[in-house]
Structure 1
Amino acid sequence: MSGPNRRPAIPVILLTGYLGAGKTSLLNHLLRHPDARIGVIVNDFGDLNIDAGLVVGQVDEPLSISGGCVCCLTDDSELEDALVAMTNPKLRLDAIIVEASGFAEPLTLARMITRMGHHRFHLGGVIDVVDATMYFDTVDTSHLPPLRFAATTLVLVNKLDQVPAVDRDATVEAVRARVHERNPRVIVIGTRHARLDPTLIFDPGAGERGPRRGDSGVGEEPNQPELPIRELLRQAYAEAAADEIGDDETDAETMPHRHAQSVTVTGTGPADADAVMDFVEDLPSGVYRVKGTVLVPMGTGQRSFVVQAVGPNVYVAEAARPASKAPSSHAGAGDGSEADSVLVVIGEDFDAEAAEAALTAALNGDAAATVPESSRRGDRSERLLHHVRLHT
């Protein structure tokens, strides 16, 4: 369980896809986000070819990147050591991305990461990048789609700018139908130049908001100096964002990404743990990620838990401190009231009203008062506690 000074577990995101589909483009795009600090683990620098302008340092040790660090491993036996090293609070990483093509199969790798985590890191999703221009030349429709899609949580149908405009929607739908033969819960999104809103998959700047000097339990360390390139990236990103308004075709080269959709729901009083788990264990169509903190009845008292869900992957840990207080915005809340539970729903083209209604009902109302005395010994929180134990 999380102690009072432990940094929140870091999401580990697996990146898969054939050579040339756009994995490098996606990584470089994420690394250029002005607020992101990302750890990257690769099997072969030559295959990945991360933008040299984003990498500084020595090749024989973890490299410093403008927004994080990178390790190069020869096989997956070194993976756990690298992941643990990247959870060092001094690095203040928001996420760790593992370029998975040179390691074990993504399904096996996903299981390994879940088993290794121990509340230091957790599986934050499996992203597969598909080349829209090559997909139908390589796919064998006489067999089931590749097994890796069983673990995949997000598919990017990339290079849509190279597909005739009249065929783009049909291309995305065809890939979606094919992927769903293996895993109907995968979200499929069309992209150009692999530009994806980072907030869809992790929280840029979360590491900067983590434990500070004296909070990490490893002594007081000075903040890492900000590299000059980060200011240049921040400026370039801001200029690209300013160019978003205009013709879709002319902005294809300049806009940083299509923005993800999000809804924030707050609650007062203890939440209904069963209702919360009903939502996160079976996310509505279009919802990719849920994050937040919930206060639930536990025995004769109440406890707060961090809840994260990405596709079918659910991570729960005891909160390091009581649920974050935030202005409550749910119906019926008086002005100035504070929230005991906060959940943020993130995705693409989902029913925001339905998601908000479901979570408003789950997070609000006195859940403790509705639970029979005979059931107040954690039974209704057993599903939540099950996920805590999975990572212990």
Structure 2
Amino acid sequence: MSGPTRRPAIPVILLTGYLGAGKTSLLNHLLRHPDARIGVIVNDFGDLNIDAGLVVGQVDEPLSISGGCVCCLTDDSELEDALVAMTNPKLRLDAIIVEASGFAEPLTLARMITRMGHHRFHLGGVIDVVDATMYFDTIDTSSLPPLRFAATTLVLVNKLDQVPAVDRENTVEAVRARVHERNPRVIVIGTHHARLDPTLIFDPGEGEQDPRRSGSDDGDNPIQPELPIRELLRQAYAEAAADELGDDEADAESLPHRHAQSVTVTGSGPVDPDAVMDFVEDLPPGVYRVKGTVLAAVGSRRRSFDVQAVGPNVYVAEAPRPVPKTPSLSAGNGDRPDADSVLVAIGEDFDTEAAEATLTAALNSDAAGGLDVAASGSDRSERLLHHVRLHT
């Protein structure tokens, strides 16, 4: 018998960086996205000034962790209670962002999130914001890079608009080389005003559209209707994006505009579990995260699993429902064929053709006669099941 039906786990994204690097700008930028529903947990260290109106417009209120640096609390139950509260399906959140002070230890915090999850939430990445104008003044380059980069999955080299155009590429490359001394798997990209495509780190609007979170919570607690401020936010989002450029708009045109790339692959029949795990446990260069659902042979049965991966962080859970129908990958074809498995790879400047070929082979191995389901059994699915047990 398959495992119990669970609500989808919500990604928890850790936001770190020194004072003034641009954490506030990034968080407010994400909160202004017209389709995003984001829960925010902040500490009271005083280094963040988020737009509380935006938070209130999307969830009931921001939850605050007192006591300074959250990973230094003697009792971490307050953080866990806040995270659990935000998994309430009535909120229909797409993601939860935990703002850690500039002095927080992301590695400790990341381990706490993983330990607390229990399939209610999972670590969705660790973002470190770096001030491009100050980085080499605040870091001792004669020693090893900061330990926090060991847990970081994405580094934003922010404020590039304040760096001379001829020096921008070299600045990003220098930070990348420095970060990779500690962790070569970190993706490093340059931004201005901390403007980042939200789809790189989470799925805006998925919480609202997912039928598993619609209607009511077990029939007793109907979901509250959208607040009127939401429509104002949709208009304000576009206006704020234009205002941020101000008089520097012409110069900003020479800066990179970060748009995430993605590849969607479907499959029929049981996947090759080892090939899937080979991909998600060691993402190709430029691939930041992978999400989807796969059908796998476990013993004599076939079971579906939700699969998420962000950098080195892999999350697998028993799928609460069958894989949905997905749009055809053929251009101009409006058909919606049945799919047993669907995986989406999302990232920055990665080899989309190679990723698509690898995932296609992994998701269609049985259909192509490459996988003997009867002989594979639970041995080949053991890596999938191992990740399920890690969060139980």
Normalised to the residue count of structure 1, the TM-score between the two structures is 0.88
Q: Is this contact kept in 1: 2:286–2:348, CA < 8 A?
A: yes
1:72 equivalenced with 2:64 (yes/no): yes
Identity percentage of aligned residues: 81
Q: In 1, Cα distance between the equivalents of 2:237 and 2:140?
A: 39
Q: In 1, Cα distance between the equivalents of 2:208 and 2:323?
A: 20
- Partner letter of residue 62 of structure 2? V
Equivalent residue number for residue 217 of structure 2: 216
Q: Deviations over 1:322-380 (max 9, x none)?
A: 2222244389x996632111111100000000000000111114269644577433000
Q: Is this contact kept in 2: 1:308–1:315, CA < 8 A?
A: yes
Equivalent residue number for residue 229 of structure 2: 229
TM superposition outliers: structure 1 runs of 4+ over 4 Å = 212-215, 238-243, 333-336, 367-374
1:322 equivalenced with 2:322 (yes/no): yes
Q: Deviations over 1:61-93 (max 9, x none)?
A: xxx343564211124421111111110111111
Q: In 2, Cα distance between the equivalents of 1:372 and 1:259?
A: 40
Displacement of 1:263 after TM fit?
A: 0.9
Q: In 2, Cα distance between the equivalents of 1:377 and 1:143?
A: 49
Please, what is the CA RMSD of the aligned residues? 2.9
C-alpha distance 45-90 of structure 1, shift in aligned 2 (>3 A): farther
C-alpha distance 132-274 of structure 1, shift in aligned 2 (>3 A): same
Matched position secondary structure for 2:221 = coil
Q: Is this contact kept in 1: 2:274–2:381, CA < 8 A?
A: yes
Q: In 2, Cα distance between the equivalents of 1:262 and 1:371?
A: 27
1:172 equivalenced with 2:201 (yes/no): no
Q: In 2, Cα distance between the equivalents of 1:319 and 1:313?
A: 18
Matched position secondary structure for 1:259 = coil
Equivalent residue number for residue 54 of structure 1: 54
Of 37-46 and 305-314, the range deviating more from structure 2:
37-46
- Partner letter of residue 135 of structure 2? Y
Normalised to the residue count of structure 2, the TM-score between the two structures is 0.88
Matched position secondary structure for 2:207 = coil
For 1:1-392, list aligned pairs within 5 A: 3-4=4-5, 6-44=6-44, 46-55=46-55, 64-66=56-58, 69-74=61-66, 75=70, 76=73, 77=76, 78-101=78-101, 104-210=104-210, 211-212=212-213, 216-217=217-218, 219-238=219-238, 249-250=249-250, 252=252, 258-329=258-329, 337-366=337-366, 370-372=370-372, 375-392=375-392
- Partner letter of residue 366 of structure 1? D
Q: Runs of 5+ in structure 1 lacking a partner? A: 56-63
Q: In 2, Cα distance between the equivalents of 1:251 and 1:44?
A: 36
Q: Runs of 5+ in structure 2 lacking a partner? A: none
Q: Deviations over 1:209-268 (max 9, x none)?
A: 243466533x4333323233321221233567899xxx9943849x99632111111111
C-alpha distance 99-215 of structure 1, shift in aligned 2 (>3 A): same
Q: In 1, Cα distance between the equivalents of 2:133 and 2:197?
A: 22
Matched position secondary structure for 1:250 = helix
Q: In 2, Cα distance between the equivalents of 1:330 and 1:385?
A: 33
Q: In 1, Cα distance between the equivalents of 2:98 and 2:123?
A: 11
Displacement of 1:296 after TM fit?
A: 1.1
Q: In 2, Cα distance between the equivalents of 1:116 and 1:189?
A: 30
